[in-house]
Structure 1
């Protein structure tokens, strides 16, 4: 009976968190679903994700940052692979995503060739402009341009012997002005609304490689969007003295395109931002977190460390200097004080088909949620 009452007390003491981690899991499953198709450049994956986030902001009670719509439309170039994606090497058909990936800047090509060995991992056919690399791990990305060659990266264990005869049937489509949207919502402050705390996360991922394979992007960065959306719901229900803004960016995987556009066309006064925190790949945490710009903003980092030491949320908070490795960067360049936070430990999947929702432990989700709430409370003092 005592054990039952203790468990009941815990559930009653943290009703918001117990609800929000379930919500976060549902958001994660939705964002990584086949319907969203990797939140990328084919099958309307990114636009479906944008609609989902916009609808969530509206349902939670956030206000559009521009007073009209949650979406900030913009465009940027992207090389896409909407159709055929077939590679046959030494007579063996390779499985897209699992045994090979196309280099993201590649042009489409249909044909066959005899490869020449350039070094231990590189094989080429100069006339047809074919490059093949052998690798221990397949990692894909997005390119804003199309090159004059077709490149393939093949998993070393996928074939026996040296790559020699290759057949390709690959379709690409360069989109000079891919249409995308940043999703921008606001919870207005109760007494000091001109002071703003900002949370950001990119919602785009790599999309699909061909008609049958997509990259779910669970840790990168459905995890960050899940945390951001549940915090948005929490703050909509519990308004704070400061206004709290929530930005979900498109185009991060294609050169930080969305955050760059927002800082050039801001929907709020950047000078009024007290602090910005960007989250990207926050689905683990066994080994703690790393904070980019920690050495730039020592006062805020010391505050974050103090909260964590007192509350024992995370095993470690690692400081890191300035880096142009996520959406905080262009805000930093505009003079906005900002952190970029990511978790460490757990799964090793990154930019591959294995970064799926069922692999993501959300080890420190609740502690991160609490840490952000406490950090924001201190920043508003």
Structure 2
């Protein structure tokens, strides 16, 4: 029976949803545009992204998960860098994001002083509480606290000589009650509305470092949000036997905070969630994909592979065990069966200014879309 269903699904798939990449590309370009400023903590970037996602879901005809509002607001603390971001080493002006980044928990500092070498990669200004480290690659993040020192990471290739002098004008603002929102929507099931299949992705990214540098976050996770919205658009036009639900989380980069808040304050009965698939960084796929929690749910993983093998969608789906590395984690801790899927291959940009839409290949986007629809259909049958 299952084999017959898969064959019927594959025949249907070739005709029913050969998805146009134009919507995904257009959505990705919007999410990574300067207007959204890295979907982060300055220039109102995260809220602008949230409003855009809500507008898209409304246009598809989705309903708020709680029947009232698409937004589930919550608060958390965050260290931000909204203004000055200036650095000179040895009298050489360096470019934020490309030549240097500031440690995410750093305090602001305005000074001009000498540096003392500690080892081959670390240099300090003791009185000013500054630590400079030389790095091969610059990778930024988000912090919920402020340290009593300033950490500056400089790309090795940006300097001709080891750091001897430093001049800085760096501004930080700690926000103890930053307001963010999860975006929660659904398409009610036609036969078993109390059974839920849930698709999730985080829409926040790192935001900006200073007034002129932002992190676009194309693969992480503009790709996942674009993919989720494409699925939401499809299911809004093709209601299923089960309720199809969608959540775009905020606060993932600050410590998977949005999904933690949702599981502690759920808008649906978590016991009614038949399965959850979280997508984070799905813009590549040349070498396949990996599924976190594959070893936790071997029957569902076998079914996913069966759909994949029958449709020749991805070259390989690698199994991985339990990991607290994205928004699926707190759901599984509450007993919700869940996968976290990410694709592999292609660009290596991650948490840097080079994670841009123009470099994202969307190699297996359409095939991944068909794989998801097929897997969801198999779960309902």
Band the TM-score falls in, shorter-chain normalisation: over 0.9
Give 2:3's aligned residue. none
Q: Secondary structure at the match of 1:162?
A: coil
Match in the other structure for 1:79: 79
> 2: CA distance between counterparts of 1:373 and 1:352?
32
Residue matched to 1:192: 192
SS of 1:113's equivalent?
Answer: strand
Answering whether residue 249 of structure 2 is matched by residue 265 of structure 1, we say: no
**Superposed displacement of residue 18, structure 1:** 3.5
- Alpha-carbon distance between aligned partners in 2 of 1:49 and 1:17, rounded to the nearest angstrom: 27
Distance (Å, rounded) in 2 between the aligned partners of 1:13 and 1:328: 30
**Structure 1 residue 321 and structure 2 residue 321: aligned?**
yes
Which residues of structure 1 form unaligned runs of 5+?
Answer: 1-9
Which blocks of at least 5 consecutive residues in structure 2 are unaligned?
1-10
Alpha-carbon distance between aligned partners in 1 of 2:315 and 2:75, rounded to the nearest angstrom: 41
Cα deviation code 1:140-190 (max 9, x no counterpart): 111011100011000001011111100110000000110000000000000
| Cα offset, 1:15, TM superposition | 6.4
Q: Which residue of 2 aligns with 1:232?
A: 232
Determine the C-alpha separation between the residues in 2 that align with 1:53 and 1:14: 28
- Tell me, yes or no, if the aligned pair for 2:202 and 2:280 is still in contact at 8 Å: yes
Give the whole-Å Cα distance in 2 for the aligned partners of 1:365 and 1:122. 43
Q: Report the counterpart of residue 379 of structure 1 in structure 2.
A: 379
Tell me which residue corresponds to 1:103.
Answer: 103
**Partners of 1:63 and 1:17 in 2: CA distance:** 25
Shift of 1:13: 5.2
> Matches of 1:377 and 1:16 in 2, distance apart?
14
Secondary structure of residue in 1 paired with 2:301 = helix
8 Å contact kept, 2:17–2:370: no
C-alpha distance in 1 between matches for 2:241 and 2:41: 39
- Rounded to whole Å, the distance in 2 between the matches of 1:46 and 1:17 is 31
> What's the CA shift string for 1:247-295, capped at 9, x where partnerless?
0000000000100000000000000000000000000000000000000
Deviation at 1:66, TM superposition (A): 1.1
Quote the residue 1:349 is aligned against.
Answer: 349
1:5 corresponds in structure 2 to none
Alignment of 1:17 onto 2:9? no
- Structure 2 SS opposite 1:183: strand
Q: Offset of 1:126 from its aligned partner? A: 1.8
Cα drift, residue 48 of structure 1: 0.2
> Could you tell me how far apart the structure 2 residues matched to 1:219 and 1:318 are?
19
For residues 24 and 37 of structure 1, the distance between their equivalents in structure 2, rounded to whole angstroms, comes to: 19
C-alpha distance in 2 between matches for 1:216 and 1:17 = 28
Q: 1:211 is matched with which residue?
A: 211
Q: For 2:179 and 2:263, locate their aligned partners in 1 and report how far apart those are by CA, in whole Å.
A: 18
Aligned CA RMSD, in angstroms, stands at 1.2
Residue in structure 2 matched with residue 135 of structure 1 by the alignment = 135
Match of residue 7 from structure 2: none
Tell me the CA shift for residue 16 of structure 1: 3.5
Q: How far apart are 1:17 and its partner, in Å?
A: 2.7
3-state SS of 1:246 partner: strand
TM-score normalized with structure 2 length: 0.96
Shift of 1:113: 1.9
> Which residue of structure 2 aligns with residue 52 of structure 1?
52
2:91 matches 1:88 = no
Moved beyond 2 Å, runs of 4+: 12-19
Q: For 2:36 and 2:356, locate their aligned partners in 1 and report how far apart those are by CA, in whole Å.
A: 13
Give the aligned length: 370
Secondary structure in 1 matching 2:324: coil
How far did 1:203 drift? 0.1
Matched residue of 2:215: which SS? coil
Corresponding residue for residue 159 of structure 1? 159
Distance in 1 between the 2:51 and 2:112 partners? 42
